[in-house]
Structures are given as C-alpha cells and as structure tokens.
Amino acid sequence: MALRIGIILGSTRPGRRGEQIASWVLDTARAHGGADYELIDLAHHGLDNLDEGGNPTHQQYEHPHTRDWSALIDGFDGFVFLTPEYNHSFPGALKNALDYIYREWNDKAAGIVSYGGWAAGVRAAEALRLVLAELQVATVRAQPAVPLIPAFSTGAFVPAEGLDVAVCGMLDQVIAWSGALRGVREAKSEAPAIAR
C-alpha cells in the first residue's frame, strides 16, 4: 500500500501567505511522487482552543471534532509541516492541533518547510522540532526555508530557483523514514501487550 503523507498548513491567520506556498508544495510533491499526498489546512478542522478534558494518550475523546482529527492524522504515515514564524516560534494554532492527540502522531516521520521574514522561519522550525520529538515524530534533516521577500515581491508566490530541488530532497527523506517507521508501528501492533 502506498505511503500517505499529509502536508499540514500550520497557520490559520487571515491573509496568510501559507496557502499559496502550501498549494505549490502539494503540486511539487505530487509531481515528485513516491507517496500519496494530501493537504491538511488547520483552518478547516474546527480545532478551537484545546477542549478535551482527558489525557490524549488514553484516546478517550469527548468531542466529534477531536475524533475526526484523530482519525485523519492516524491514517497518515508521515507529514510535511508548513509553518510561518511568529515571534521566533510557530503559530499557536499548530501547537494546539498537535496537543489535541498523541498516539496518532507516534512513530511517524516529518519534514518541515518554514517561511517568514529575513530568517525565513528557521527559528519556528527549530521550535517545532522540539515539540515533534516529544510526540515521537522523527524529523528529517532537510529543511527548505522560504523568505517572504523576494518570494512575494510581485504579490503572488514565486518560488526561488532551486526550491523545488530542496523540497524534493526533503520528501525523499520523509518517504524513506515513513516507510521504515511504518514497519515499527506494525511490529508494535503485533507484539503482545506487556503486563504492568
């Protein structure tokens, strides 16, 4: 069965630049191949400020939006997170979406594409790596970064020369790790439960 990679647009801000970048990343990924790709726009999933009373490790969700989010994320083998940089970190909406669930993220791979001002969002990506590590998501080394100037100097997104090569290099790593970690998840599901 083909690997499934979710491309997560991590900003819900009005007027965000990420929609254009995410659309381009999705097109680039589909042209690259190696997996089935789907865009996941956090703005379309109704994840208001975390409203689940229980610990997400138990997966006893009270709300339909959490159960829908759980099922969606559980169905992917890996991810590409597209994040802007807000005040040296990634958006609260993305942190909130990550915190809603736990086991659904475990033992999967992820790449990060950042965007922002002169630093092109790299500090947001570094902060995101720390959170993903706690969720047992393995982040790959390749990390394309998009400076908003000159990328939007005409008003529409124009990728810099070589950005497609950088994104494809990242995807190669995400695909390889996602395939390996699928095996880890399968081995865990087949192992007998350990008595505690």
Residue 84 CB contacts under 8 Å (≥ 6 apart), including other chains: 10, 11, 13, 16, 17, 18, 90, 91, 114, 115, 116, 121, 124
Cα-to-chain-centroid distance, residue 161 = 24
Q: Is 18 exposed, middle or buried (0-12, 13-18, 19+ CB in 10 A)?
A: buried
User: pTM for the full model?
Assistant: 0.95
In the chain the domains, ranked by start, together with CATH numbers, are 4-190 (3.40.50.360)
Residue 118 CB contacts under 8 Å (≥ 6 apart), including other chains: 147, 149
Q: Residue 193 — very low, low, confident or very high, per pLDDT cuts 50/70/90?
A: low
Q: How high is the mean pLDDT of the chain?
A: 96
pLDDT tens-digit map of 13-52: 999 999 999 999 999 999 999 999 999 999 999 999 999 9
Residue 190 in this model has a pLDDT that exceeds 50: yes
Residue 192 in this model has a pLDDT that exceeds 90: no
